[in-house]
Amino acid sequence: MNHYKSISELHRANGYPGPENPLISLLTCDELSACTIGQQEFTTDFYMIAFKKIKSGHVVYGRTRFDHENGSMLFVKPRQVIEMNNIELEEKGFIIYIHEDFLNGHALHSDIRKYSYFDYEANEALHLSEREEMIIWDLFGKIQTEYHNNVDEYSRDIMLTHLDSILKYSQRFYKRQFINRTELSGKMVSRFNESLEAYFQSGKFQKNGLPSVKSMASALNTSPRYLSDLLKQETGKTAMDLIHIFLISEAKNILMGSNNTVAETAYMLGFENPPYFSRLFKKETGLSPNEYKRSFENPHPVVGIA
């Protein structure tokens, strides 16, 4: 597998024209060998933002495969494995490569990490409407104009400003996609809770321990970040928040309906550390497990008279 430390190295290996800036590269169909990309598997030290309409072939990154024909955006972070097989694109398409060093000293160096879609799987690409495509192409055009201008002290900041706008608009468009997909396929939170219930009923809590966001995402065929972002859009809570809510609900049922100790309840729910269970329970309910249990054992305490 090839690993490209520099953008110039990637350009040479693929027969692209040399980049005008060693730390950022803009490619359109004109440079992408008549919009075709052969077989290759590689990693890089830079971010990749791409807009593509794929006619044939497929892209793989993360665990899944992308072969959608509609206009879609892909976001890949440094050192993530990318595999491309005989890609043929429609007329329109671009790739922006941004080396990590290009972001040094700029707010985007840290801000780019908050965009969780860089951790989404290939099948969770952003699918744009025609209006959204126009917005992204307009911003790309502004970066492109600055990229080909004579370099001065403003060039980098102007390009990064427009790049930041692409990232912000992409975040907005993903939220729209979450809403649309919820309307089409039903709420993810229902599937999530059903999967949690099945995990509990099968006895996996005692056997495998607490379910992780990663394991839940795998069961629902999504990436962990995509799952949490979609659930946050639907419910205002992350995947881990919902796992905790489920666990506390089951804990309340066990504490009320059995003589199990707090430790036995914790182990039943997959907690290896009962004190951690107690802390989580109190955080969610305001009561310790023992206080909660006692509140039902003696719901109407008799008040003494002096």
* 18-51 confidence digits (pLDDT tens): 889 999 999 887 655 544 454 567 788 899 898 8
Task: For domain 188-297, give its CATH number from 3.90.650.10, 1.10.287.130, 1.20.1600.10, 1.10.10.60.
Answer: 1.10.10.60
Q: How far is CA 256 from CA 210, 242, 244, in A?
A: 21, 21, 18
CATH class of 2-185: mainly beta
**Average pLDDT rounded to a whole number, residues 105-126:** 84
| Domain range summary for the chain, segments of one domain joined by + | 2-185, 188-297
267 φ, ψ to 5°?
Answer: -65, -35
Which pTM was predicted?
Answer: 0.65
Quickly state the pLDDT bin for 67 (edges 50, 70, 90): very low
- Report the distance separating Cα 108 and Cα 101, nearest Å: 11
- Do the domains at 2-185 and 188-297 have one common CATH topology? no
- Report the distance separating Cα 173 and Cα 138, nearest Å: 15
> What pLDDT digit, counting tens, does each position of 71-106 carry?
588 888 888 877 666 566 666 788 899 999 999 999
> What pLDDT digit, counting tens, does each position of 119-176 carry?
876 667 788 888 898 999 999 999 999 999 888 889 999 999 999 999 999 999 988 8
Alpha helices in the chain (DSSP H): 7-14, 108-111, 130-148, 155-185, 188-201, 204-208, 213-219, 224-235, 239-257, 262-268, 274-285, 289-297
Q: Looking at residue 113, what DSSP letter applies?
A: G
